[in-house]
Amino acid sequence: MVRQPHLAVIPVHFPVVRLGEKLAQVVCDCLKDEGLTLRRGDIFAVASKIVSTCEGRVVRLTGVHVTARAKRLSDQWEIDERLAAVVVKEADEILGGVDGFLLTVTNGILTPNAGVDLKNSPPGTATLWPTTPDRSASQLRSRLQHRYKTKIGVLIVDSHVTPLRLGTVGLAIGLSGFVPIQDYRGVPDLFDRTIRVTQTNLADDIAATAHLLMGESSERIGAVIIRGSAIGTDAKGDGRLLKLTQRKCLIGSALPNIGATRLEGNDWARNSYATTPELGCDLRNHCRRTDIVSDCRSRLLAPLSISFL
């Protein structure tokens, strides 16, 4: 019998992170305060809000210009018009919604409100996803490996909802240092039948494990160390390996043709947020405008909060 690895899930507590702090330094300080270090093979799962806050991805809502499109979405789905305006800028696609939430595609991920969240964001602000989560994970991994002289993986964790299920679960929005898929195709099952389709999403499994400890409110567990997973951390993996085309996705294939009516002339610079000097950040170089608003009345969302920390 093959001995199974012993899995340890270690919480790392964080203070309230200030806008623009150096992410790697914050992480190292928190590990030191907890008496923790990183070992070879660890996967360091960090909450997306911590990454976003350090990268200045926080917008003050009073500085947001509400477009006519955002106002229509606000009226239709009973969402704050300023929040709707931020979602319009962040989303690659808007497919529909339920009261309070829009169903969007952002960075190739089907997610509520384009990852924009008010919860655990300073009053009067919204926190956005990191602009390039895989790059953020790669940069943090490089700095932590240099500091601790070992090979690790890094995962950026948010939460989302799943179709026809109540409640939030962990979601990997960016990663570095490991292959996020375990491919069982061609392997025999218990009854010696060859597995033809199954591939396991290791990244979201890890994100769900981390999310179990991180929680959704005031826990202040900003990161989790996954130790003993037996997932190799020498590989050059990133989040692109997780993404499917719409045609190959069981759920996506049932949605409208994403991108079929994509708008032309998408100018990110013109569609910028106002500078927020009170918060010390200018988001004009981080913004996207919405490419599509379809007439789909998708009901895949539950009216729940969507991210944490």
For the chain, domain boundaries:
8-254
Q: Give CA 74 to chain center in angstroms.
A: 24
In degrees, rounded to 5, the angle at the alpha carbon of residue 66 between the alpha carbons of residues 64 and 69 is 140
- N-to-C CA span, the chain: 41
Residue corresponding to tokens 């379809």: 294
pTM (predicted TM-score): 0.82
Give me the CATH topology for the region 8-254: 60s Ribosomal Protein L30; Chain: A; (3.30.1330)
Residue range 91-140, pLDDT digits in tens:
999 999 999 999 999 999 999 999 999 999 999 999 999 999 999 999 99
Residue corresponding to tokens 């806008």: 19
Element (H, E) at 155: strand 153-161
Residue range 203-233, pLDDT digits in tens:
999 999 999 999 999 999 999 999 999 898 8
CB-CB neighbours of 70 under 10 Å: 24
Residue range 239-286, pLDDT digits in tens:
999 998 888 888 888 877 776 533 322 332 223 343 333 333 333 333
